[in-house]
Amino acid sequence: MPELDTSQRQAPDCVMLTGFWYRALPADRVHRNRLHKAMLLEIPLVIGRDRAGRPFALRDACPHRGMPLHCGNFDGENLECSYHGWQFDAHNGQCQAIPSLTADQNLKVDRIYAGSYPCEEQDGFVWVYVQEPGPAGAGFGKPENAPDPAPEIEKFSGKYKLAYLTADMPVSIDHGIIGLMDPAHGPFVHQAWWWRSRHSIHEKQKNFEPIPNGFRMSAHTPSSNSAPYKLLRLYAAADSITTTIDFVLPNLRRETIRAGKYWFSSLTTVTPITRNQCRIDVVAAWNIFRWLPFGPELLKFVFAKFVEQDRRTMELQAEGLRHNPHLMLIDDADRPAKWYFQLKAAHLEAKRSGTEMKHPMTGPVTLKWRS
Ligand code: FES
Ligand SMILES: [Fe+2]
């Protein structure tokens, strides 16, 4: 038997990438003048909305003695720590007041910051930019700006519907992501009488190409792999339907399906919560079922089934992973997973060396598998 080469043995390293935007909470769960807890990349956060409805994110630990700030008071502008009443500006984290100071004590209050993170609302989610960690022991500094806005779902008309689904997965970010891009589990995990069974397995061939920070499954007429496809076929001739699927670091999967003037677009993210816990958020926008009374519900039902099947699978997988088994990635079905690990390694290497990232793919590639 041939030996597995090291690239086939590639195992998840579970490194969580900083310097990117991550989805923190669904926007409809973040209420004005209330404080919410969230966790991203093992960083505890307090998230809220100011009086005007603008979201903010601070590190959920008071710079005085570490009290979680979400336990404090919020007046729509400043957060007040529940331990000694220090007050912080919700947006930039700057300290506004320290009640214990006397008139002749000249501590420079405005030089103290609760760590703040760039925060934006986009397509129904509150996003937080997790910056590169500062030098150890430097304490909280002034807020940094994000280099670019939070990722947005591509839309192709002015009017559309938007819906989201979210599920916690008890596995590392790497298993969450390679599970998301894995074509071979479909017939086994996503069985349903109205969808497909394992007897429908057949050979497939798909073209992939490199894109900045990721790769694309090139525009093609879908087989039956994507959830909204069977519904879309009710609206347009099968051969007028095209779909592209992109994966982009650190965790973005964009799927776009177009059928004449109808379109369906989704942005799915897998967000590292802790080293061995992630969360999948699917947000979809579409203009196809706007006039059909049960369209959105039907779509949500289909997606909810899929996500629940994935979640349940990963829950079981976590049991198997607990004792660090040897793992392997095989061609061609696991090639996207290999690219993911290579992209991640190339990104980290570029950051370490301060050079431009070297993309692991040199050109278009055709992959074949049965699913
Ligand atoms: S711990 Fe927050 S004010 Fe002291
Ligand atoms: Fe799946």
Is the separation of the CB atoms in 131 and 93 below 8 Å? Answer: no
- Residues contacting 103, CB < 8 A, separation 6+: none
Mutation to probe ligand 1, out of 86, 100, 107, 109 (largest number of atoms < 8 A from CB): 86
- 86 Cβ inside 6 Å of ligand 1: yes
pLDDT at 5 over 50: no
Name every residue whose Cβ is closer than 8 Å to that of residue 312 and which is 6 or more positions away in sequence: none
Substitution site in 59, 67, 95, 101 for ligand 1 pocket (most atoms within 8 Å of beta carbon) = 67
Neighbours of ion ligand 2 (CB under 5 A): 310
Mind listing the pLDDT tens digit for each residue in 82-125?
999 999 999 999 999 999 999 999 999 999 999 999 999 999 99
Residue 198 has pLDDT above 80, yes or no: no
Q: Cα(23)–Cα(123) distance, rounded to whole angstroms?
A: 10
Atom of ligand 1 nearest to the CA of 86: 3
Q: For the chain, percent helix, then strand, then coil, each to nearest 5?
A: 20, 35, 45
In this prediction the pTM is 0.91
Mean pLDDT, residues 145-160: 94
Q: What is the pLDDT of residue 6?
A: 43
* pLDDT score of 351: 94
What does the pLDDT read at residue 46? 98
Q: Which residue has its alpha carbon closest to ligand 1 atom 1?
A: 65
Rounded Cα distance, 264 and 307, in Å: 18
Q: Can you tell me which residue has the tokens 């942005």? A: 267
Distances from the Cα of 114 to the Cαs of 49, 85, 87, 254, 371, in angstroms?
A: 17, 13, 9, 34, 50
Helices (H), the chain: 6-9, 173-180, 186-189, 229-232, 295-321, 335-353
213-241 pLDDT, tens digit each: 999 998 776 655 555 666 666 666 666 78
The three state secondary structure string of 93-153 is: CEEEECCCCCCCCCCCHHHCECCEECEEEECCEEEEEECCCCCCCCCCCCCCCCCCCCCCC
pLDDT recorded at residue 8: 45
Q: Between 304 and 368, where is the model more confident? A: 368
**What is the share, in percent, of the chain residues with pLDDT greater than 90?**
70
Taking the CA of 66 as reference, the closest ligand is 1
Q: Is the pLDDT of residue 4 over 60?
A: no
